[in-house]
Structure 1
Amino acid sequence: MAAQPIDELIVPPCQFCAPYNRKFYCKSCVIRSLSSAQARATLNLEKQVRFLRAFQPSPLSEDFRGDVTFVGRDGKPVYAHRFIMAGKSAVFQRMLDTDMKERNSGTIFINDANSSVLKSVVKYCYTADIDFTEEAPAEEILKVAHKYDIVELKGVCEDELSRGLDTENFCTRAMLAQIYDAGKLDAATSAFFRANFDKLYLTVIKRLCKYAPLNEGAN
């Protein structure tokens, strides 16, 4: 293999490259060095992510407190820090950084979500990690992410909803894509419809008839 110049090698050179006194290296040495560098970079990135995600106490623990409180429809408080939430959501930023009542009260009421959903949203804003559960499903979190312009979280919800498409949930998720301007989910439901048209046709017709009876507006 032909020798080639490289700025620095982070692995010991092979017996064929050693005589070049670190001026030239063979392809194998270059590949080994790049692989090692990539592994080190990945390890360093993982350490950085773990550090950034580490909060004591955890955002979901009972002992966690902040300087802003979210209150959902069940009335249970969910705590966070203004600078974190404002940094992830343009809507929260306007609420907390301008002369609005939320800035003075430190409380944001979100009546269309429960505390489990709000906890999941707060956790994502702190850690970029989320677990969809029965109490905090992707459908409900998508609504909050769209309403409060948390773009990355909205994309994660769309990915989750796109993966679980079937004939039973197709209509609901197709409507979610339209209501919340979810482009990735819309593309996924459209592709699913084309691939399963024969199975979905009657399901869609029945759903349309359910919400738009034939005698509606007959007069």
Structure 2
Amino acid sequence: MSGESAYRVETTPRLAQWRIDTLSSTYRKSNPFLTVERNKHFCVKLYPEVSNLTREKPPIASFVIKLVSSSSLDRKTIVHPGICDKQLKNSDDFVWAVDTLFTGKLIIDVEFLDLKITAPSGGEPASIWTGHPIEKHSNCTALTALARMLTDSIHTDITITTSDGSIGAHRAVLATRSPVFYGMFAHNLKEKELSMINISDMSIESCQAFLNYIYGNFQASEFMMHRLDLLRAADKYDIADLKEACHDSLVEDIDAKNVLERLQAAHLYRLDKLKASCMRYLVNFGKVYEIRDELNLFIQNADRELIAEIFQEILCVWKGY
């Protein structure tokens, strides 16, 4: 039988049924996970559809499979003992040879108890029925609500004063993101008594960007605009993930206009990768000769240890030539 009208495939999230009118067919397919074959001897083979994901990270299935003859004269049902946590990579991973002779129409019934896949980003295989969509929805909703607490000043209980204005915030949120803020509110410090935090080394705009990051309401444009201020705040208030993000970003667009400022920041905040990148830009690429005036002014005010490192790097390059 070669026409599609001789079989149908019915599916639900956990159940697939192949309804076959005749056993003369050699190939049956169910989208998206499994395939059934019939060769010279009747057998059922289950394996994933070919894709980059299943080829490199095959799914792990637990299922019950049974064959049901739908003949009105001789109805038969055969149930496989069941498969638990079976990795299905190719057609040899699950083969069920059936000795019973079936006549008439046939139903092949596969009911999944579980199906585990590995995410493209890696990690341990996880069930596709673990509720990840609702988890993602819950996270998005929570972040939206948290952002509104800040933007709409909902029940703020602490005021942050900056160099040119003030912003209301929430002690609990700040304390959960920063051990420094946590310590302020856990002890009888002036910040706790006055319900005020003084961050005079930040403008209200850069402080707003800092709080937006803490509250999960961050925009890429404000990050790029305030990276050095955010780096300073992340170091001061011990927010490691923000500090790392700033570090990685500052390495990516070093040029003659910002290299000295970033070299100073790298030295001050102990950012080895940024410092090495700035040194390489200045010395290995010879940019130190293009910004002589700026470098002379920088040397007059920079930390002596950093100046020594610059000259040491220059000497090492000269020796190489």
The alignment's TM-score, normalised by the length of structure 2, stands at 0.53
Residues 71 and 109 of structure 1 are in contact (CA less than 8 Å); yes or no, is this contact kept in structure 2?
yes
| More displaced 10-residue stretch of structure 1: 86-95 or 135-144 | 135-144
Residue 142 (structure 2) pairs with residue 47 (structure 1): no
**Cα gap change, 1:90/1:134 in structure 2, threshold over 3 Å: closer, same or farther?**
closer
Give CA deviations for 1:103-159 in whole Å, capped at 9, x if unaligned. Answer: 111100111001111111111112173434399511111111111111111112222
Residue 280 (structure 2) pairs with residue 197 (structure 1): no
**Cα gap change, 1:44/1:62 in structure 2, threshold over 3 Å: closer, same or farther?**
closer
Residues 158 and 196 of structure 2 are in contact (CA less than 8 Å); yes or no, is this contact kept in structure 1?
yes
Distance (Å, rounded) in 1 between the aligned partners of 2:129 and 2:207:
36
Aligned residues: 201
Picking from 92, 95, 112, the partner of 2:181 is 92
Distance (Å, rounded) in 1 between the aligned partners of 2:135 and 2:290:
47
Partner of residue 248, structure 2: 159
Partner of residue 3, structure 1: none
| More displaced 10-residue stretch of structure 1: 203-212 or 102-111 | 203-212
Distance (Å, rounded) in 2 between the aligned partners of 1:135 and 1:62:
24
Partner of residue 35, structure 2: 14
Residues 138 and 157 of structure 1 are in contact (CA less than 8 Å); yes or no, is this contact kept in structure 2?
yes
Residues 132 and 138 of structure 1 are in contact (CA less than 8 Å); yes or no, is this contact kept in structure 2?
no
Superposed counterparts of 1:14-163, under 5 Å: 14-15=35-36, 16-17=45-46, 22-23=82-83, 26-28=88-90, 34=117, 43=133, 46-55=136-145, 58-74=148-164, 76-127=165-216, 129-133=218-222, 137-163=226-252
Q: Aligned to 1:71, what secondary structure does the other structure show?
A: strand
- RMSD between aligned alpha carbons? 3.4
Q: Which has the higher contact order (CA 8 A, sep 6+)?
A: 1
1:202 aligned partner, one-letter code: Y
1:26 aligned partner, one-letter code: L
Residues 68 and 82 of structure 1 are in contact (CA less than 8 Å); yes or no, is this contact kept in structure 2?
yes
The CA deviation at 1:167 is 2.5
2:262 aligned partner, one-letter code: R
**Cα gap change, 1:64/1:161 in structure 2, threshold over 3 Å: closer, same or farther?**
farther
Q: Which runs of 5+ in 1 are unaligned?
A: 1-8, 214-219
Distance (Å, rounded) in 1 between the aligned partners of 2:236 and 2:82:
57
The percentage of counterpart residues that share the same residue type is: 21
Give CA deviations for 1:168-211 in whole Å, capped at 9, x if unaligned. Answer: 211211111111223443344345446x522x121454333124
1:98 aligned partner, one-letter code: H
1:166 aligned partner, one-letter code: D
Q: Aligned to 2:197, what secondary structure does the other structure show?
A: strand
| More displaced 10-residue stretch of structure 1: 162-171 or 91-100 | 162-171
Higher helix residue share: 1
Higher strand residue share: 2
1:50 aligned partner, one-letter code: C
**Cα gap change, 1:142/1:132 in structure 2, threshold over 3 Å: closer, same or farther?**
farther
Distance (Å, rounded) in 2 between the aligned partners of 1:193 and 1:210:
15
| More displaced 10-residue stretch of structure 1: 173-182 or 95-104 | 173-182
Q: Which runs of 5+ in 2 are unaligned?
A: 1-13, 16-31, 37-44, 47-64, 67-79, 94-114, 120-125, 301-321
| More displaced 10-residue stretch of structure 1: 168-177 or 13-22 | 13-22
Residue 298 (structure 2) pairs with residue 208 (structure 1): no
**Cα gap change, 1:77/1:102 in structure 2, threshold over 3 Å: closer, same or farther?**
same
Give CA deviations for 1:66-114 in whole Å, capped at 9, x if unaligned. Answer: 111111010x221221111112112111211111011111100111001
Residues 59 and 123 of structure 1 are in contact (CA less than 8 Å); yes or no, is this contact kept in structure 2?
no
The alignment's TM-score, normalised by the length of structure 1, stands at 0.74
